[in-house]
Structure 1
Amino acid sequence: MNDIFSRIDHSRTADEVIVQIESLILEGVLRAGDRLPGERELARQFEVSRPILRDALKALEARGLLVTRHGGGTHVADVIGQVFSKPVMELISTHSKATSDYLEYRREIEGVAAEYAARRATADDLALLDRIMERMDEAHRTGDFDDEAEIDVEFHHAVGECAHNIILLHTLRSCYRLLSEGIFRHRLLVFALPGAREDLLAQHHAIHAAVKAGDPVAARKAAMDHITYVERSMVQAERTDDWQRVSRLRLRQRAGETEISRKTDRNQ
């Protein structure tokens, strides 16, 4: 991990260390699962004693923001996963209306995120978006659906970060957690629809271009149009998947009938 921690300028107490790590988690610099540097290195970056650092880390761990893994160092806790508890996630996965409600919500919130991103993105934000788009283009060329879908989520994460609104950032991350947990099982099927991969890539480029151009109106529209397309495509993918399931059952049934007919003919 690069040096993202700053020296403590004031009293060099555990409280100062706690506040800085809290801010990095809240602002999305540190993400769930990120490993903190070792104790010696972290104390060096903060310019505090190791006992002070230990007190700070213990306090953050007691509050559930950090976890220590035996032999594996100290990591940022999965605090975002608590927004949607496991029982709620299971309910969402078993109720079809939740999918449309999820996308309806995302359409509005991603529109706001893209609009804010176009207004607020820094040069460093745009450089990160550029790199993600390059990787997305490469994944598109190789035709790796899983990789493309993963970078898709990463792109939306980055746009949310460009908005520079802490509440918006964590709300969006909780939404994307549902995708990473596979709650919406037809999501990946969208990439298999004819022309979908090309359409999705063009939509991401449109969002990227509008944010980069600093055009909040175009950015909001591009983001909302993208989610509307995803919504329609998921419905189509679900229907197509169901058609394929029925067709497969029919084929098996017909094959079974043919085999029975052959056996009957041989026995006559």
Structure 2
Amino acid sequence: MDIKPIKRINISDQVYEQLKNQLINGVWKPGDKIPSENELVLLFDVSRVTVRQALSKLTTLGLLETKLGEGTFVKEITPGAYMKEIIPYIYLNKDSAREVLEFRLIIEVEAAGIAATRITDNDIFRLERSLRRMEEYQNDLKKYVDEDLHFHMIIAKSTNNSLIIQVNNIVRDIIRETIRNITEEIGSEVGLKYHRLLIESLKQRDSARTKENMREHLQRALEKLN
């Protein structure tokens, strides 16, 4: 017999889903004040603790904000808020890491080429400092991963293209987890090598070479996962 245990559904999750749907469907719009905790307790017929848990989750996601003495209000909903919700439910194994790398190949290669034509001396200085920190943090995975991500974000910001910067900000947490996954799998030497090459081609403002370095960097990581 194909019988599976019955799963108990968390009550606060049910409240959270219903509140979130009010936001998604536009029932509550940005700037609107939502019902108070007391009103929500009565509406859902649940405890105050349950309501607070649901509201806390929505606030953490950046969908709601509480103003002292005024109440809870709807914030402007952005794609980044939904990405934050997705991340905890994603286990970044080899397959998902591969998909993120393929996405990065599409976005970051062209972005690197643009950055080479617009990068400033101060940006170069920041990249060199980031590289030194990565070399220093090779035995500290968390610090190394954070600095690796920071390096790529500097390049994205160097494009001076608001859309490229925003896309990178939206997916930065997923990229961070992928970098961690890859570093655990293949180590740091390959990444450090290509970061050095990227700095050199960016210094020369060589767009074609910078694109090629970024492509090889991400492609090499992709091959290592296969």
TM-score (norm 1): 0.50
Out of 112, 126, 129, the position equivalent to 2:127 is: 129
In the alignment, structure 1 residue 176 sits paired with structure 2 residue 172: yes
SS in structure 1 at match of 2:160: coil
Structure having the higher Rg: 1
Contact 1:146 / 1:188 at 8 angstroms: preserved in 2? Answer: no
Instruction: Measure how far apart 1:84 and its partner are.
Output: 1.9
Contact 2:137 / 2:144 at 8 angstroms: preserved in 1? Answer: yes
SS in structure 2 at match of 1:214: coil
Instruction: Measure how far apart 1:164 and its partner are.
Output: 0.9
Supply the distance in 2 between the matched residues of 1:197 and 1:135 (Cα, whole angstroms).
Answer: 12
Supply the distance in 2 between the matched residues of 1:202 and 1:183 (Cα, whole angstroms).
Answer: 18
Out of 70, 91, 108, the position equivalent to 1:93 is: 91
Contact 2:134 / 2:148 at 8 angstroms: preserved in 1? Answer: yes
Instruction: Measure how far apart 1:96 and its partner are.
Output: 6.4
Contact 2:80 / 2:170 at 8 angstroms: preserved in 1? Answer: yes
1:239-258 → structure 2 map (5 Å cutoff): none
Pick closer, same or farther for the CA change 1:65–1:90 going to 2, 3 Å: closer
Q: Provide the aligned length of Structure 1 versus Structure 2.
A: 158
Q: For residues 171-222 of structure 1, give each alpha carbon's deviation from its aligned partner in whole angstroms, at most 9, with x where no partner exists.
A: 1222221134x478733422xx3xx422211111111111121000111111
1:217-232 → structure 2 map (5 Å cutoff): 217-232=208-223
Contact 1:207 / 1:222 at 8 angstroms: preserved in 2? Answer: yes
TM-score (norm 2): 0.59
In the alignment, structure 1 residue 210 sits paired with structure 2 residue 201: yes
Pick closer, same or farther for the CA change 1:183–1:227 going to 2, 3 Å: closer
What are structure 1's unaligned runs of at least 5 residues?
Answer: 1-63, 71-76, 236-268
Supply the distance in 2 between the matched residues of 1:97 and 1:124 (Cα, whole angstroms).
Answer: 37
SS in structure 2 at match of 1:226: helix
SS in structure 2 at match of 1:164: coil
Instruction: Measure how far apart 1:110 and its partner are.
Output: 0.8
Q: RMSD in angstroms over aligned alpha carbons?
A: 3.2
Pick closer, same or farther for the CA change 1:157–1:185 going to 2, 3 Å: closer
Pick closer, same or farther for the CA change 1:163–1:94 going to 2, 3 Å: closer
SS in structure 1 at match of 2:181: coil
Instruction: Measure how far apart 1:145 and its partner are.
Output: 2.5
